[in-house]
Structure 1
Amino acid sequence: MKTVLITGCSAGFGLETARHFHALGWNVVATMRVPREDVLPRSAGLRVLPLDVTRTESIEAALDAAGPLDVLVNNAGIGVFGAFEATPMSHVRKVFETNTFGVMAMTQAVIPRFRARRSGAIVNVTSSVTLAPMPLAAAYTASKQAIEGFTGSLAHELGHFGIRAKLVEPGYAPTTRFAHNTEVRAEDLIPDAYAAFAAPIFAAIARPTLVTKETDVAEAVWRAANDFSGQLRFPAGSDALALAHDA
């Protein structure tokens, strides 16, 4: 049986991805900052471990506890919405610490383990904002765009060791809670000068015509993890697929 470690499994894409891999017979190491077995009850082939991707010691402890891996899924992420002018740099740095540097730290820690076995896959979950950047999400978009370039470079750098690097690009999923983790409300980051501009954008977000389901992302991660072709990007969800087609 193969083993996958997935970050950010307390809700949303990570939770559904853990369930998907487990249902398909994989050993799953589901990680989250504060383990909640009420979310993912312990069962055969499924473990829940604590992991904060912004702390080196937490990363090493989780990888040691997980044991040999076949796939790493870097899914943990946070978001902040609002006018960039009004977004404190402390919030920008917090987004990058998780979405960019956390992914890089996890990847750097797992590469020697994969290289020793000359096999493994690293699947980085980004966003459809990398296909079509959206307004009022500049910091989030930048953090995810960085991982797009990072993963593309790794695909070349690690391929001769038998290590595959892949991207999954989810569209907009109203059910995700990633914006809650920055402890800042979007409406607090919309100065009066931006109010008229922001109103139709938030109205469109509240009533999207195309949405991504969590199962769409789980299935895309599964395909990416098991893909041995040269395909790098795996858009997930009808809206992301439409954007990828138009890109």
Structure 2
Amino acid sequence: MNTVLITGCSSGYGLETARHFYAMGWTVVATMRQPRAALLPSSDRMRLLALDVTREESILAAVKAAGPIDVLVNNAGIGVVGAFEATPMAHIRKVFEANTFGTMAMVQAFIPQMRARRSGVIVNVTSSVTLAPMPLAAAYTASKQAIEGFTGSLAHELAAFGVRAKLVEPGYGPTTRFAQNTDIPVSDLIPESYAAFAAPIFAAFANPPLTTKESDVAQIVWQAATDDSTQLRYPAGPDAVALAQA
């Protein structure tokens, strides 16, 4: 029976991805900073672990508790929306710690077992902003673009050991809590000088022509994890697919 470890399972894409892998018969190690058992099925095939990807000791404890895994899905991350000019550098570093360095640390922690076994898949979840950067998300976009380059290089590096690295690029999901898991309100990052510029952008967010559902992303993550081809990128959701085709 295959085992997957997924980060950021408290809500949104991570939560639905954990449910999808479980439905497909996998053993799921669902991780989040504060585990909530009520979110997921109660079963021997569903294991909950506390994990903060920004803390080395938390990652090492998760590696030990999880044991051997076949697939690592790096989904945990935080968003930030606002004018770059008004975004404190401390907050930008926080975004990179979660989205970029947290992903890298998780990959580094699990490579040894996959390399020794000469099998395994690493799926890094980024965003459709890597396909078409959008305004008012410069720091977030940069953190995800870094993972795109990182994963592309990693795929070459690990192929010799039978380990595959994949990218899933979700579109915009209005039901996810993007930018709500940070400690700075969006309003604080939109100075008056940017208000006229930001207004139509936020209006477009409120009524996008195409959107991505959590189930779209879960299906594509599973597809990437089970695809033994050399394909690297997997857009997820109709809006992401449209951007990739463009």
Shorter-chain TM-score bucket reads over 0.9
Q: Which residue of 1 aligns with 2:125?
A: 125
One-letter code aligned to 2:124: N
**1:52-110 deviation line (CA, Å, top 9, x unaligned):** 00011100111111111000000001001000000011110010000000000000000
One-letter code aligned to 2:46: L
Q: Which residue of 2 aligns with 1:51?
A: 51
**2:116 and 2:27 mapped to 1: Cα distance?**
20
5 Å matches for 1:207-226?
A: 207-226=207-226
**1:119 and 1:58 mapped to 2: Cα distance?**
25
5 Å matches for 1:123-202?
A: 123-202=123-202
Q: State the shift of 1:40 in Å.
A: 1.8
**2:63 and 2:56 mapped to 1: Cα distance?**
11
Normalising by structure 2, report the TM-score. Answer: 0.99
**2:193 and 2:37 mapped to 1: Cα distance?**
45
Q: Which residue of 1 aligns with 2:206?
A: 206
Q: State the shift of 1:188 in Å.
A: 1.2
Q: Which residue of 1 aligns with 2:30?
A: 30
**2:219 and 2:105 mapped to 1: Cα distance?**
25
- Per the alignment, in what secondary structure is the counterpart of residue 179 of structure 2? helix
Q: Which residue of 2 aligns with 1:103?
A: 103
**1:173 and 1:134 mapped to 2: Cα distance?**
15
**2:224 and 2:244 mapped to 1: Cα distance?**
16
- Per the alignment, in what secondary structure is the counterpart of residue 25 of structure 2? coil
**1:151 and 1:172 mapped to 2: Cα distance?**
21
**1:29 and 1:109 mapped to 2: Cα distance?**
15
Task: Report % sequence identity.
Answer: 76
Gap runs ≥5 in structure 1: none
**1:13-54 deviation line (CA, Å, top 9, x unaligned):** 000000000000000000000111121243130011000000
**2:228 and 2:96 mapped to 1: Cα distance?**
30
Normalising by structure 1, report the TM-score. Answer: 0.98
Contact persistence 1:94–1:182 (CA under 8 A): no
Q: Which residue of 1 aligns with 2:11?
A: 11
**2:87 and 2:8 mapped to 1: Cα distance?**
24
After TM superposition, what 4+ stretches of structure 1 lie above 2 angstroms from structure 2?
A: none
One-letter code aligned to 1:109: A
Using the TM superposition, name which of 112-121 and 176-185 deviates more: 176-185
2:43 equivalent to 1:63: no
**2:220 and 2:115 mapped to 1: Cα distance?**
24
**1:122 and 1:156 mapped to 2: Cα distance?**
13
- Per the alignment, in what secondary structure is the counterpart of residue 19 of structure 2? helix
Contact persistence 1:42–1:48 (CA under 8 A): no
**1:121 and 1:195 mapped to 2: Cα distance?**
44
Q: State the shift of 1:230 in Å.
A: 1.1
